């Protein structure tokens, strides 16, 4: 099982930037991708960005493409999410996740493709 601990959340004004980090431990060669998800009150969990652990190919939702950047430091076992030009609609609880599923037809931004989850960190964007 992969243990994940997020940090870096907080409050920021619209147009500002924030960086989230996720410290991962316990992941092995059987961890294929990692991702960031978010969930706002009353809404379903949404895949924001994902990255393959080995090849570092990335995926982004249309809502954040061009504004967010996901990266993985394999040496420090840390997953990062740089968020820029933040909008009020980016306000949500952000979760780090790891996938030990080799093939998932729903795609790497689908929550059902992930097996391990962190506790989340809150991001609040105000106007």
Taking a C-beta distance cutoff of 8 angstroms, is the pair 125, 90 a contact? yes
Taking a C-beta distance cutoff of 8 angstroms, is the pair 52, 72 a contact? no
Instruction: With residue 37 as reference, give the H or E element that holds it.
Output: strand 33-39
Backbone angles phi, psi at 31, to 5 degrees: -100, 120
pLDDT, residue 2, reads: 87
pLDDT, residue 96, reads: 98
Q: What is the side-by-side strand order in the sheet with 3-7? A: 3-7, 18-25, 78-83, 68-73
pLDDT, residue 29, reads: 77
Query: Which residues of the chain fall below pLDDT 70?
Result: none
pLDDT, residue 93, reads: 98
Alpha-carbon span 81 to 99, nearest angstrom: 17
């Amino acid at each position: 099982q992969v243990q994940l601990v997020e940090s870096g959340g907080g409050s920021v004004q619209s147009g500002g930037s924030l960086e989230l980090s996720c410290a991962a431990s316990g992941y092995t060669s059987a961890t294929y991708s990692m991702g960031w998800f978010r969930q706002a009150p009353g809404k379903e969990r949404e895949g924001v960005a994902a990255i393959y652990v080995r090849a570092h190919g990335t995926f982004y939702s249309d809502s954040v493409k061009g504004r967010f950047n996901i990266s993985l430091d394999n040496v420090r076992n840390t997953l990062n999410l740089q968020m820029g030009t933040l909008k009020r609609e980016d306000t949500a609880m952000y979760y780090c996740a790891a996938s030990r599923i080799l093939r998932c037809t729903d795609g790497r931004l689908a929550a059902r493709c992930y097996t391990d989850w962190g506790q989340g960190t809150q991001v609040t964007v105000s106007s």
